[in-house]
Amino acid sequence: AQSVTQLDSQVPVFEEAPVELRCNYSSSVSVYLFWYVQYPNQGLQLLLKYLSGSTLVKGINGFEAEFNKSQTSFHLRKPSVHISDTAEYFCAVRSSSASKIIFGSGTRLSIRP
Amino acid sequence: EPEVTQTPSHQVTQMGQEVILRCVPISNHLYFYWYRQILGQKVEFLVSFYNNEISEKSEIFDDQFSVERPDGSNFTLKIRSTKLEDSAMYFCATRERGHTEAFFGQGTRLTVV
């Protein structure tokens, strides 16, 4: 079975500062990894995904994430955040042999001016 | 850009009533999912559906829940006799065959009173 752990429930940062949202996963088989963003009162939007190959993946809105197999991590980063990045961010995993996507508990990113 | 459409956006129902939540998948997507998110909590998997049958379901998806694709376009989630604890945001998601990521609708906020 797969599981996802997001270590921080809330991350406050100042505008234009860098941010890292942490995610660790566990699985006995190969996985696909995702980050989704949920803006207030909206649905889930795919930020980026890791399937295979290069461990550094780039997504929309300037976000990127790095897959680290040895540490079973898939941390999300952005070098300089904007007020508009205020949202809930969900790390998710899907086994290569299954259909469902399992979500972490989410990290609320709040940006201070 | 194609999107998953959910109706209604908000539904209020009395405890014990039946509700049907509707989803129009992205055209040519063959995998369908329902997720729910209780206010302030994580996104939880309910059920996946492929080839006109349930492929996987969670412990949450008990006999009160059912899914179907009644007319080849809509994908519905029925809750037979709603309970207060069914109050949540319900998300439909769809995935194209051969692709890894799922696309989510904007959600239906169900309030049981």
Domains of chain B (ranges; CATH) run 5-112 (2.60.40.10)
Residue B109 pairs with which residues in a beta bridge?
A: B10, B89
Confidence category of residue B25, pLDDT binned at 50, 70, 90? very high
Tell me whether residues A34 and B45 touch, CB distance under 8 A: no
Query: How far is C-alpha A47 from the chain's CA centre?
Result: 8
Let me know the angle formed at the C-alpha of B9 by B3 and B10, rounded to the nearest 5 degrees. Answer: 160
Which domains does chain A carry?
3-112 (2.60.40.10)
Q: What is the pLDDT of residue A28?
A: 76
Q: Give CA–CA dist B55/A56, Å, rounded.
A: 32
Which chain B residues are within 8 Å of A51, Cβ to Cβ?
Answer: 100
Please give the single-letter amino acid code of residue A74.
F
User: Given this model, what pLDDT does residue A97 score?
Assistant: 81
- What is the per-residue pLDDT for B93? 96
Contact A103 B44 (CB under 8 A): yes
Residue B99 pLDDT: 87
CB contact under 8 A, A106 and B102: no
pLDDT for position B10: 96
Which chain B residue is nearest to residue A95, measuring alpha carbons? B100
Tens-digit pLDDT profile for chain A (113 aa)?
A: 788 999 899 999 999 999 999 999 998 788 899 999 999 888 899 999 999 888 999 999 999 999 999 999 999 999 999 999 999 999 999 988 888 899 999 999 999 98
Q: How does DSSP classify residue B84?
A: G
Q: How far B82 CA lies from chain A's nearest CA (Å)?
A: 23
pLDDT at B72 over 80: no
Residues 6+ apart with CB under 8 A from A68: A55, A74, A75
Dist. CA A86–CA A100, nearest whole Å? 27
pLDDT value of residue B95: 93
Give ∠ CA A39-B104-B37 in degrees, rounded to 5.
Answer: 65
- What's the pLDDT at B50? 92
CA distance B50 to B71: 15
Evaluate if residue B29 carries a pLDDT over 80. yes
Asked whether the beta carbons of B47 and B57 are under 8 A apart, the reply is yes
- What Cα–Cα distance (Å) separates residue B73 from each residue in B29, B63, B69, B70? 10, 24, 7, 8
